[in-house]
Amino acid sequence: MTSIRVSGRGGAAPKVAPYAFVAPAVVLFLLVFALPIGYTVYLSLFRTEVKGLGLGKGSRSEVFVGLDNYVRALTDSELGAGALRVLGYGAILVPTMLGLALVFALLLDEDRVRARGFSRIAIFLPYAIPGVIASLLWGFLYLPATSPLNQLLAELSLPGVNLLSPTGIYFALANIAVWGGVGYNMVVLYTALRSIPRDLYEAARIDGCSPMQIALRIKIPLLAPALVLTSLFSIIATLQVFAEPMTLAPLTNSLSRTWTPLMKVYQDAFGRGDIYSAAATSVLIAVVMFVISFGLLRITRSRAFGGER
């Protein structure tokens, strides 16, 4: 220790170095994160005011309105309805997706499994397909008249299903997200599983544990931190659902153009050309996500990060 201090006699260099090392990160953070957020908050305090017919040049001006945009967003019933719809969608999606990811990860971790590499890629592959493209393809499969599923059901003289009905749409959307998300979460869980010392299983087996008991009593409890993190990511992704309902909306009467809060933001900003209230709504959504993320982490901190405090 002393030797280091002595060698740092020159003074300036060692003090500047740490700042130089973090500078790129700080600059990037300010430019791509803090600045846009700041600008969004700034925008959310204004609105345009039009005079008369609003047709001549300069008939629009920007006026400061304080928290008006927030009040309007919070009292907007369509936004509240959208939030409820997202909750319903998330209630179907998150447990299904994580449940499947966990089952796949446990299966792949089993030593007797064959073609492990292939299965892992096969499950992961849908994650590589962009949401919009997946939605277009699924949309084609959902439409009653073009759906191969309905053709099959008709062959078997069973009644067709319409996944684009007002209730069916929740499952239709969740299905698209499940395919996209299972592989990603499976990889996270699987990696966590591989890092568990194998001796534990050996010891358990000697004690007479069946593979099922090993999974339930050893693997899943040790996976808890990874499960908490994947849940958190899935919940955040759920709150941001946008591309799928946006792409399916033109295909059906059951999806409005403001079905989720983010679609409402899009409509406000680009449909109505009102970037100010869109900014206010975005800030509100960000705050909700922040509260949920940190709340969840706080509750589960001891489980998620073990001894880390």
Q: Is residue 191 within the footprint of another protein (CB under 8 A)? A: no
When binding is defined by CB under 8 A, the residue of 4, 20, 55, 115 that contacts another protein is: 55
Query: Is residue 144 at the binding interface for another protein, with CB under 8 A as the rule?
Result: yes
Is residue 151 involved in binding another protein (CB under 8 A)?
Answer: no
DSSP string, 204-270: HHHTT--HHHHIIIIIHHHHHHHHHHHHHHHHHHHHT--HHHHHHGGG-SS--TTSSHHHHHHIIII
Cα–Cα dist 235/288, whole Å = 12
| Per-residue buried b or exposed e for 141-161, using 16+ beta carbons within 10 Å of the residue's own CB | ebbeeebeebeeeeeeeeeee
Q: Confirm if 119 and 113 have CB atoms less than 8 A apart.
A: yes
60 is a site residue for another protein (CB under 8 A): yes
- Is 256 among the residues that bind another protein (CB under 8 A)? yes
Q: Nearer Cβ to another protein, position 127 or 242? A: 242
**Considering the rule CB under 8 A, would residue 257 count as an interface residue with another protein?**
yes
When asked if residue 51 is in the footprint of another protein (CB under 8 A), the reply is yes
Instruction: Quote the DSSP letter at residue 50.
Output: E
Task: Please report whether residue 59 would count as binding another protein according to CB under 8 A.
Answer: yes
Size of the site for another protein (CB under 8 A): 38
Q: Which stretch, 94-102, 114-122, 126-134, 272-280, contacts another protein (CB under 8 A)?
A: 272-280
Decide: is 4 part of the binding site for another protein (CB under 8 A): no
Choice between 54 and 221, CB closer to another protein: 54
Q: Which stretch binds another protein (CB under 8 A): 50-58, 91-99, 122-130, 190-198?
A: 50-58
* HSE, side-chain direction, 13 A CA sphere, residue 39: 8
Q: Does 251 bind another protein (CB under 8 A)?
A: yes
Are β-strands 46-50 and 60-64 bridged in parallel, bridged antiparallel, or unpaired? antiparallel
**Cβ 61 to another protein, closest distance in Å?**
9
Task: Give the dihedral sign, CA 16/17/18/20.
Answer: positive
Any bridge partners for residue 60, and if so which? 50
- Complete DSSP assignment for 77-108: HHHHHHHHHHHHHHHHHHHHHHHHHHHHHHHH
Asked whether the beta carbons of 304 and 228 are under 8 A apart, the reply is: yes
Among 103, 143, 188, 237, interactor with another protein by CB under 8 A: 143
Site map 194..233 versus another protein, x via CB under 8 A: ----------------------------------------
Q: Name which position in 271, 295, 301, 305 contacts another protein (CB under 8 A).
A: 271
Q: 99 or 166, CB closer to another protein? A: 166
Asked if residue 159 binds another protein (CB under 8 A), the reply is no
Phi first, then psi: give them for residue 110, nearest 5 degrees: -65, 130
- β-sheet bridge partners, residue 64: 46
> Minimal distance in Å, beta carbon 235 to another protein?
27
Which residues would be at the binding site for another protein (CB under 8 A)? 47-55, 57-60, 139-140, 143-146, 165-166, 249-258, 267, 270-275
